Structure 1
Amino acid sequence: MTVFRTFAGAVLAALFATAAVAPAWADEGMWTFDNFPAAKVQSDYGVKIDKPWLDRVQAAAVRIPGCSASLVSKAGLVLTNNHCVVDCTKALSKAGQDYVKDGFLTDARSDEGKCPGMTAEVLISITDVTGQIKAAGEGKVGAAYVQAKEAAQAVAEKTICNDVPGRRCQTISFYRGGQYKVYMYRRYTDVRLVFAPEFDIAFFGGDPDNFNFPRFDLDSAFLRLYDGDKPAATPQFLKWNPNAPAEGSMTFVAGNPGSTDRLLTVSQLETLRDLGIPIGQLQRSELRGRLIQFGEQGPEQKRIANEPLFGLENSFKVYFGRQMVLNDKAFMDAKRAAEAELRAKVAADPKLSAEIGDPWADIAAAQKAYADNFLVYRQLESEAGRGSRLFGWARTLVRAGQERAKPDAERMSDYAEVRLPLEAKRLLDPRPVDPQIETLQMEHWLLKTREYLTVDAPAVKTILGKDSPDALAARLVAGSKLADPAVRKALWDGGLAAVMASDDPMIQFVLKTDPDARAVRTIWESSVSGPTDRAAGKIAQARFAVYGESVYPDATFSLRLSYGKVAGWSYRGADVPAFTRIGGLWDRATGQEPFALPQRWIDAKDKLNPDTVFDFVSTNDIIGGNSGSPVINAKGEVIGAAFDGNIHSLGGAYGYDGRVNRTVVVSTAAITEALTKVYGRTALVQELLGK
């Protein structure tokens, strides 16, 4: 915990001083492929990045649910992180065979296991639709503004994708509403697991090592894309380089950073600091304790709690770091200064000032509505069900039935005609459901809803009736048949009539409670998200007028390219080296969790080259969602997979400090060494090397 305390002090004294204006550090930026600063890279590093290079990398970059990946062979082979495929390894596991614990190995392509719910997307084209999206919202406010924009986005997506099979279009907002672009993807729905190591080596060191360095994690896995029940032909892929990079060599990360808030106003950051993050952390902390307690009941309970606990602990640590940044006076003072500078430049331009008004004041006013509605919106809408798959499926079925009965332009955005195939895929693919975890998550959500909204709230009375949270959760989970994909398909195909006629208790629960959730969603769009989005677009207009496109947009889980170099860092007199080597793994191992090695690694110790680079760090600017991103050298070869950031990077949601922010990477050298000498995956290595 010492690192967190010191991190919030001296480092942040100068951090983010120009975060809202222009990049403060040479390697800062999550750049779009159509606005990559190639001239700056050539000036800073002497490396020429031209359009063919960018096109090759774009064609090999892959987006999977919640993570990034890359094509590494002509036969659809994909590199990503092990923690990005845990859902798949868990789903493929069976009685007596725990692939999460023991690893997943294949000898032939016929052994590759289809990952339920998994999709993979490769970006094909980018189309600017800013004019038509902004025109749709002209003269509208609140919920009407939100609905008009969403309808225009759906039209743009349908027009550009034109119902071509295997294509998906997504409208993405950049610069907080300053630009809108449709990204068209080649979409693969048949994604199969090829290789995943044991959890104990993929996440060696567990939570104590998480967001720290040195690290000794083989956080890697391989998938394969299939097309027509055959491995997909993927002639554009990244060449596998089995050698570790040298310190100081240039690196690129091509991936899909999930979300950053570097362009938020000061009032929005204050709301996150004082309300949004603390409430979330309180609930994560309590649910974490419940999962730990559940896992201590026995080995089977520990197994099934492992995945949700892993994600929860990771999120808790992320938001702990973010809270520390927002609590730092130097950081907030720097943000205020940057905002004041931009506002002063706008005020000095009468024409620009007249065009945009005072959007900062509009956003500040919306924070009152945010505070008034946040708890009920969180509990009834944005966090409803708290991770329960059964609840999520029930809500999708209910809302899809209701929305599909409306004209396309009047639907909720997720249920626009062009987006229905993705919703159907998510809903209908077989997914494992553990009743004990489902009940635990539902009970926690019901308890917190009653606690936060009070027992007298009409919505709480509707939710609970005369039931206690534990009794209601147990009854809903035990009685639901939605774990069966055939049941979900029948309800999806049957539409609203079938949903209304269903006697499934989870369906009936959502039918009864969803009107309250929809009502608070409408209030939120009218008083919070609608006014905020509109004002943010005005601030983006001001930023473009003053600074142009020399600043990169906030992360939006869309394809970006960052650049940097292999480098360690120094902090308060301590030097952290850029590399760890396989030999150091044995010094870290204790035989006790989370520093216990799988038996395969113990058996292979004498075969392994102790000098092989295991993990390394670089100055690349990343955030969550970049997990699994290929780390690429100047030649366009893959040299590793990003799987984490260091402790200092936890403030990366709000800014970047090139002195101490680092990306943590598992090297292709370590992956190749392990595949060869620990796992005996000769055919996989030959495919990677193009033999």
Structure 2
Amino acid sequence: MLLRSLRAAVSATASIAAVAGVLALMATPSTARADEGMWTFDNFPIQMVNDKYGTRIDQAWLDRVRNAAVRIQGCSASFVSDQGLILTNWHCVVGCAQELSSPQQDYVKNGFLTANREEEKRCPGQTAEVLVDIVDVTDRVLGAGVGLEGAAFNAARTAATNAIQTEACAGDPKFNCQVISFYRGGRFALYKFRRYEDVRLVFAPENQAAFFGGDPDNFNFPRYALDAGFLRAYEDGRPVESPGFLRWNPNAPAEGDPVFVAGNPGSTSRLLTMSQLERLRDQQLPITLIQSSELRGRLLEYSLTGDEAKRVSFDPIFGLENGFKAQYGQHQALLDPEFLGARREAETELRARVAADPNLVQQIGDPWADLERVQATARELYLPVRQLEQAAGGGSTLYQMARAIVRASKNTTMTEAQRARLVATVGAETPISMEMEEIRLRYWLSKTREYLTVDHPDVKTLLGRESPEALADRLISGTRMGDAAFRAQAAAMTTEQMAAADPLLAFIIANDAAASAIGARWAAEVNAPTARAAEKVAQARFAVYGTNQYPDATFSLRLSYGQVAGWSYRGVTVPAFTYMGGLYERATGAEPFNAAQAFIDNESRVNKDTVFDFTSTNDIIGGNSGSPVINAAGEVIGAAFDGNIHSLGGAYGYDGELNRTVSVSTAAITEALRNIYPSPHLLEELGVE
């Protein structure tokens, strides 16, 4: 009863926790408070951390961690052996497990276990990237936009970043070069990644082992989740040699131990201005929440129609529920008057200090007023750009591939190498549920008609005289895009040939001009002036508070520091650890609290005193999933997979008293590999006796 009461209490007051976080963040912008910060590897506060925790972190330690950190699609990971073995979360590989599954063999439900390398299976579309170089290119990028506005500004910036990326990678397909914006355009850096495109699934537990407690336990603690999975990077048909790896420590940490999380946090908005936050609160988040909720309802209804429907919809529903819960928490934070009051006070202080410096005013003008004007335009354009361009297709895989093919056919600047990569991507064998595709397309068409209205000219062109339901049925039942061979052929066709060959391609061709036009307006009238103004706000922050700050998250490699710790809230203390025996006590036999079959079958063999999951004060956000949790010796001791309920406001601020990272321990993973899913070959590779 106590734990249930705690979850209800913190769920109802998540926004209050977020307020505290913003107060901590904004009080002294020049110096991060508590264990706050998603720091870049070229600006990590080494001395501050060593002074606080008595560690001996140095540049060599940072380099070792950076060389072991891996970025995969949408998640983070790390090399944990010299043979290309990669540790990440189960929920980062469940999509692969589902794609490899069939009605006869469900790797999501039953787990994916291998006895040797020959049984490892390639994950369609998965890549693994290691950051090998960071080069500051701020002056070159900022110089490209001088004196330009709107579309011309965007074109100049795009040309500059493309040139930098092309020069750095020099056409070598083994590398991916990316110019990344930091501090909302205050700094730009070239990140060069070593890229591996053959990534294979090695191990994934049963979904009920990894996601025990389901959505009710998500973003809560205590947790009893074996949210871990292993991949392996291959090149030329052989496992990659990975001398830069984290050594596996099978022992659980102790309370108070310093820990580090290396990963790729996706996106935070801690540096947005008040006018930007208010539009998020009033328009963007509410619409996103409403549409996500309805789509989730449609997929849940479909999942009840049969075993196969339940199987193919598992991962999409999981993703929708996870995103919905996170965005709901963010919206609650923005609805809290105290939260916005703290942000408004901090912005007022910064603007006052800028106004007191005539030279700075002359240099940057009033970017806050510029951003206020941009928000008025953004409010006007948001619905059409969302429905016709940004969210077009409603998440349909076939629609996205078809649109990529159509737009490539009209792109006269694509290189042969880029076209070859497109053909390889769309021509890859990918399991696709046609029923799910129709649900998504029908949903998108109906929402577009609802939000833009029946009389909107683009809606009339989109639907013609058909209903959303009839149109979706005709397009999905008639398309040949479900055939990988046809997709590869279509990528080589002209636009006219595509229109004659397939109804889905023809539909996209007929409507792409309108979608591209609204997208171009958004880029010129919202993105370009936002970028210009945000650069000036960043200059103001640097001038007033100095450069020793961490930037907002951008799905680029970061390092956070902290310590293993629980927390107290409203008189309730939450310990930092759960133990494997607690799962059996918590299990009820009914979903989502039914124990996985392998856990039931091997209960007598399990050491129930093994630390299962633990919490720490590290500052993370979505995208950090799968990040290695590292001790001061540079050994991996866990994989981050969640945050507590108080962390939902982490997009806008951090509170060291309440925000917690939730990780699965290497101790639990080792116990599982030894006694629940016996994998002696993996234990040997990890150096565990």
Letter in 2 for 1:471: A
Residues 115-144 of structure 1: CA distance to partner in whole angstroms, max 9, x if unpaired? 001011000101111111111111111122
* Structure 1 CA distance for aligned equivalents of residues 680 and 424 of structure 2: 34
SS of aligned partner of 1:207: helix
Task: Tell me the CA shift for residue 529 of structure 1.
Answer: 1.0
Contact 1:18–1:334 (Cα < 8 Å) also in 2: no
Contact 1:79–1:628 (Cα < 8 Å) also in 2: yes
Match of 1:287 in 2: 295
The question of 1:429 aligning with 2:437 is answered no
Residues 564-620 of structure 1: CA distance to partner in whole angstroms, max 9, x if unpaired? 000000000000000000010001111111011222110110101110000000000
The question of 1:549 aligning with 2:557 is answered no
* Structure 2 CA distance for aligned equivalents of residues 611 and 155 of structure 1: 56
Task: Tell me the CA shift for residue 13 of structure 1.
Answer: 5.1
Task: Tell me the CA shift for residue 7 of structure 1.
Answer: 2.7
1:83-98 equivalent positions in 2, closer than 5 A: 83-98=91-106
Contact 2:18–2:647 (Cα < 8 Å) also in 1: no
Contact 2:78–2:245 (Cα < 8 Å) also in 1: yes
| Aligned residue among 333, 347, 363 for 2:341 | 333
Match of 1:439 in 2: 438
The question of 1:260 aligning with 2:268 is answered yes
| Aligned residue among 514, 517, 528 for 2:515 | 517
Match of 1:412 in 2: none
* Structure 2 CA distance for aligned equivalents of residues 54 and 447 of structure 1: 50
Contact 1:154–1:416 (Cα < 8 Å) also in 2: no
TM-score when normalising by structure 2: 0.97
TM-score when normalising by structure 1: 0.96
Change (3 A) 1:426 1:684: same
| Aligned residue among 520, 524, 527 for 1:526 | 524
Task: Tell me the CA shift for residue 515 of structure 1.
Answer: 0.5
Task: Tell me the CA shift for residue 419 of structure 1.
Answer: 6.2
Task: Tell me the CA shift for residue 672 of structure 1.
Answer: 0.3
Match of 1:130 in 2: 138
Contact 1:23–1:29 (Cα < 8 Å) also in 2: no
* Structure 2 CA distance for aligned equivalents of residues 10 and 476 of structure 1: 47
Task: Tell me the CA shift for residue 503 of structure 1.
Answer: 1.6
| Aligned residue among 640, 650, 660 for 1:662 | 660
Residues 269-325 of structure 1: CA distance to partner in whole angstroms, max 9, x if unpaired? 000000000000010111111111111122221112211111001111001100110
Residues 314-349 of structure 1: CA distance to partner in whole angstroms, max 9, x if unpaired? 111001100110011111111011111111111111
Task: Tell me the CA shift for residue 18 of structure 1.
Answer: 3.9
Change (3 A) 1:552 1:472: same
Match of 1:74 in 2: 82
Match of 1:211 in 2: 219
* Structure 2 CA distance for aligned equivalents of residues 423 and 614 of structure 1: 42
* Structure 2 CA distance for aligned equivalents of residues 646 and 593 of structure 1: 21
Change (3 A) 1:348 1:265: same
* Structure 1 CA distance for aligned equivalents of residues 429 and 357 of structure 2: 58
The question of 1:278 aligning with 2:276 is answered no
Point out the more displaced range, 662-671 or 94-103: 94-103
* Structure 1 CA distance for aligned equivalents of residues 146 and 394 of structure 2: 36
Match of 1:411 in 2: none
The question of 1:4 aligning with 2:3 is answered no
Match of 2:447 in 1: 448
* Structure 1 CA distance for aligned equivalents of residues 527 and 294 of structure 2: 29
* Structure 2 CA distance for aligned equivalents of residues 419 and 640 of structure 1: 38
| Aligned residue among 244, 248, 257 for 1:249 | 257
Contact 1:21–1:342 (Cα < 8 Å) also in 2: no
Letter in 1 for 2:19: L
Letter in 1 for 2:594: A
Task: Tell me the CA shift for residue 676 of structure 1.
Answer: 0.6
Contact 1:13–1:330 (Cα < 8 Å) also in 2: no
* Structure 2 CA distance for aligned equivalents of residues 97 and 362 of structure 1: 56
Task: Tell me the CA shift for residue 3 of structure 1.
Answer: 2.3
Match of 2:241 in 1: 233
Task: Tell me the CA shift for residue 21 of structure 1.
Answer: 2.1
Change (3 A) 1:288 1:241: same
Contact 1:80–1:629 (Cα < 8 Å) also in 2: yes
Residues 507-564 of structure 1: CA distance to partner in whole angstroms, max 9, x if unpaired? 1111011101111011111211111111001111111112222110000000000000
Letter in 1 for 2:23: F
* Structure 1 CA distance for aligned equivalents of residues 681 and 549 of structure 2: 45
1:251-400 equivalent positions in 2, closer than 5 A: 251-400=259-408
The question of 1:46 aligning with 2:54 is answered yes
Contact 1:292–1:309 (Cα < 8 Å) also in 2: yes
Residues 385-417 of structure 1: CA distance to partner in whole angstroms, max 9, x if unpaired? 1110000001100111111x13xxxxxxxx688
| Aligned residue among 633, 636, 648 for 2:634 | 636
Change (3 A) 1:387 1:672: same
Contact 1:322–1:651 (Cα < 8 Å) also in 2: yes
Task: Tell me the CA shift for residue 424 of structure 1.
Answer: 5.1
* Structure 2 CA distance for aligned equivalents of residues 146 and 475 of structure 1: 38
Task: Tell me the CA shift for residue 15 of structure 1.
Answer: 3.7
Task: Tell me the CA shift for residue 236 of structure 1.
Answer: 0.8
Task: Tell me the CA shift for residue 490 of structure 1.
Answer: 1.7
* Structure 1 CA distance for aligned equivalents of residues 301 and 330 of structure 2: 27
Change (3 A) 1:480 1:30: same
Task: Tell me the CA shift for residue 477 of structure 1.
Answer: 1.1
Match of 2:569 in 1: 571
SS of aligned partner of 2:410: helix
Letter in 2 for 1:294: Y
Letter in 2 for 1:3: V
Task: Tell me the CA shift for residue 17 of structure 1.
Answer: 4.8
Contact 1:60–1:70 (Cα < 8 Å) also in 2: yes
Match of 2:5 in 1: none
Letter in 1 for 2:652: Y
| Aligned residue among 170, 173, 179 for 2:181 | 173
Change (3 A) 1:149 1:431: same
Match of 1:671 in 2: 669
SS of aligned partner of 1:33: coil
Contact 1:648–1:660 (Cα < 8 Å) also in 2: yes
1:138-153 equivalent positions in 2, closer than 5 A: 138-153=146-161
> Runs of 5+ in structure 1 lacking a partner?
407-414
* Structure 1 CA distance for aligned equivalents of residues 450 and 85 of structure 2: 48
* Structure 2 CA distance for aligned equivalents of residues 8 and 34 of structure 1: 33
Aligned identity (percent) is 56
* Structure 2 CA distance for aligned equivalents of residues 420 and 377 of structure 1: 27
Aligned length: 681
* Structure 2 CA distance for aligned equivalents of residues 533 and 540 of structure 1: 10
Match of 2:465 in 1: 466
Residues 429-471 of structure 1: CA distance to partner in whole angstroms, max 9, x if unpaired? 3221101110001100000000000011111011111111011
Residues 49-74 of structure 1: CA distance to partner in whole angstroms, max 9, x if unpaired? 11110110000000000000000000
> Runs of 5+ in structure 2 lacking a partner?
1-7
* Structure 2 CA distance for aligned equivalents of residues 18 and 686 of structure 1: 44
Match of 1:111 in 2: 119
1:584-599 equivalent positions in 2, closer than 5 A: 584-599=582-597
Task: Tell me the CA shift for residue 483 of structure 1.
Answer: 2.0
Contact 2:18–2:649 (Cα < 8 Å) also in 1: no
Letter in 2 for 1:480: T
Letter in 2 for 1:136: A
Change (3 A) 1:249 1:423: farther
Change (3 A) 1:10 1:503: closer
Letter in 2 for 1:31: W
